[in-house]
Amino acid sequence: DSGVTQTPKHLITATGQRVTLRCSPRSGDLSVYWYQQSLDQGLQFLIQYYNGEERAKGNILERFSAQQFPDLHSELNLSSLELGDSALYFCASSDRTGPIGYTFGSGTRLTVV
């Protein structure tokens, strides 16, 4: 167990729907990062939050949004889903006190049918 918890582990939904993925960071970590991993595009950085504030944005679609709550857990909202959104979505956290690297959760596998 890495200490980063993601739920649900698997999600199957239809095109056009909206889903919410949840991430609880490792205890003490203030930063949360979201990544999308698909077969053809590798690991793509989506967005970072630090202590409730958005800090960096990567290749995140306008249909996607995220937030980090006061208890530091984060949610990634995906709307108007398309078949191409099927992927593994990872959350990672870090404590921003040194180059120790990220701690990743085990991911949510989203399948859009």
Partner 1 sequence: GDSVTQMEGPVTLSEEAFLTINCTYTATGYPSLFWYVQYPGEGLQLLLKATKADDKGSNKGFEATYRKETTSFHLEKGSVQVSDSAVYFCALSDNYGQNFVFGPGTRLSVLP
Q: Which is nearer to partner 1, 37 or 67 (CB)?
A: 37
**Residue at 42: amino acid letter:** G
Smallest separation, CB 80 to partner 1 (Å): 27
Smallest separation, CB 33 to partner 1 (Å): 8
Measured CA distances, 27 to 14, 72, 73, 94 (Å):
34, 9, 10, 10
Q: Answer yes or no: are the C-beta atoms of 89 and 110 closer than 8 Å.
A: yes
* Rounded distance between C-alpha atoms, residue 7 and residue 15, angstroms: 20
Dump the DSSP string for 32-56: EEEEEEETTTEEEEEEEEETTEEEE
* Rounded distance between C-alpha atoms, residue 107 and residue 94, angstroms: 16
Smallest separation, CB 105 to partner 1 (Å): 5
Binding site for partner 1 (CB under 8 A): 2, 4, 31, 33, 42-43, 45, 56, 90, 92, 94-107
Q: Which is nearer to partner 1, 63 or 96 (CB)?
A: 96
Q: Which is nearer to partner 1, 14 or 40 (CB)?
A: 40
Smallest separation, CB 1 to partner 1 (Å): 11
Q: Which is nearer to partner 1, 85 or 94 (CB)?
A: 94
